[in-house]
Amino acid sequence: MSLTVLGLSGALSHDPSAALYIDGELIAAAEEERFIRDKHAKNQMPYHAATFCMNFAGISPDDIDVVAFPFAKVGLSSKDRWHFAKRYWYAPDRALDALFNGNRHYRRNVERVRELLDRLDIDWDKIEFEPVAHHLAHASSAYHLSGFKEKTAILGIDGKGEYATTFFGYGEQGEIHKIKEFYDPDSLGQLYASFTEYLGFDMLDGEYKVMGMAPYGDASRFDLSPLVSFDGSEISVNTELVNTVGVRRYKEDGKGYYFSQKLIDWLGPRRQGDVADDPYVHYAAAIQKLYEDISLALIERYLKDILLETGKLVFAGGGALNVKLNQKILQLPYVDELFVQPAASDAGTAVGAASYATWKRGVMPQKMEHVYLGPSYSNEECVKACEEHEGHPKFEQIDDVPKRVAELLAAGNPVAWCQGRMEFGPRALGGRSILGSPSSKGIANKINEQIKFRERWRPFCPSILDTVAADMIQTDHPAPFMTITFEVSESWRERVPEVVHEDGSSRVQIVSKATNPKYYALLKEMEALTGNGAVLNTSLNRRGEPMVCSPTDALNMFFGSDLEFLILEDILVTKPDGQ
């Protein structure tokens, strides 16, 4: 008997997404932001994403057996609610609400899910509704999709779910076991996010920028340990400084932040603008080091015994997108293989809720081999988009796309590459990418300044052939999803300087022919032309926008930048003469 499970995320009012499992196979997954063109799609539910998933699979609303959602009830006797109430004593309205109305958020989520299902014509009375605890959904998205058969250590770090913020556990024979959790406000993820706000970036979006800024600073210049106390087993965030609510929040122009006036009094005014300057660059280095040091110590405390058995670790939650931490984790002597769920943030909980519901019903989810899970478009649809676009692009269908694009790249041109199914998750992996030759001097600055319009100091990453990976990053560890940074060998640093960061590392994507044959063919052509089987690869979007989804989105981005070449499937697009 067939089992069809629709996973929906959006429990925490950001990053809604949908994922569809049929008999253990992840058929489709997509983020709502891509369809409505609103980054993070705050306060939305994944109507368009869910509609896409069902249409792609060719199923009707009546075919859905289970709807899974990554948010569950928390009992009054649980540690979660009492810990929250105790730690938020200074905001009694919140503390009392946790004790006397602690599932208010859950009830509101269920109402929103029911409203969404009505819009999707899915009959609530004919489906099973599976509420999955938020961190259990994160854990399932990593463990059940890793393909690991051995006993596996599980790590989850994010802002918070219902009340939990950090998860340590293990998976064995499909079962997920919890070892330890921390609860709000004692959250490493929220600590990093709060400090991201202090450094002048938006929470949920700027954490990558803090991580990218950190290598330019000196972590020893400032001691940020007063932000959190850590005794080797427990953490306690200093809510007089960060992770603040209510009256403790620093306010500026009517907006409240997750840090306090006391933090300003200690470290100085909140950073403004785009420049990576003193002292903020050193603060970035210090918060990154604090986050790494405590995370690594907690892994040692709670997961080392399991890791000594098998060496397998999986990681999810927004904190798992910190690729520098992931590099340090992989360097631990008892970690042999690290699987980071590529859509590790809350968008990935749609997959996790669905994978958990699938496993719970006796069907083991398949290993995640790729994230090309979104929409794709035919040449005919691409031509139609070009014909209808107000920019009046010039376009032609070409025969050997990899060869032609490699020639453009080798000549020093950036190229927008829109091919096949859109990626699920935050990384462009050769579906919706802006590409450049990593040996072309200045290409990174050109893309930053003229196309992406983002901060000059942010790094770019490479996609590389599987045949050169071991030589370039000096390991045979899998890296298909750009979730881990690796040290780049000296010889390759000289060959591809545009994709090596300040600290000598690179967040590589190792490309295999089986998962993306056209992208692999492009890399082979680049190897033939330049001697390097690599391209600079960044997401096809401008600053503040979601990644491109459709050909029309790509054309809008193309005409809103200084890009000169856009590939839509087999269609080469250029601008009219004079533009």
Contact at 8 Å (CB) between 205 and 40? yes
Contact at 8 Å (CB) between 365 and 145? yes
Q: Which residues contact 390 (CB under 8 A, 6 or more apart)?
A: none
Strand order in the sheet with 175-183: 175-183, 164-172, 152-157, 312-316, 337-340
Q: What are phi and psi of 472, to 5 degrees?
A: -75, -45
Residue ranges in 73-133 assigned as alpha helix (H): 79-87, 92-100, 104-119
Q: Which residues contact 25 (CB under 8 A, 6 or more apart)?
A: 366
Half-sphere exposure at residue 489, Cβ-oriented, CA atoms within 13 angstroms: 11
Contact at 8 Å (CB) between 525 and 406? yes
Element (H, E) at 69: strand 66-69
Residue ranges in 334-449 assigned as alpha helix (H): 349-360, 379-388, 401-410, 443-447
Contact at 8 Å (CB) between 198 and 258? no
Active site residue 14: yes
Q: Which residues contact 173 (CB under 8 A, 6 or more apart)?
A: none
Instruction: Give the Cα separation of 5 and 305 in Å (integer).
Output: 35
Q: Which of 556, 518, 524, 557 is nearest to 538 (CA)?
A: 557
CA 341 to chain centre: 9
Active-site residue (options: 14, 40, 389, 501): 14
Instruction: Give the Cα separation of 171 and 154 in Å (integer).
Output: 7
* Burial (CB count <10 Å: 0-12, 13-18, 19+), residue 269: exposed
How many CB atoms neighbour CB 312 within 10 A?
23
CA 242 to chain centre: 23
Q: Which of 29, 33, 9, 27 is nearest to 19 (CA)?
A: 29
Instruction: Show which residues are catalytic.
Output: 14
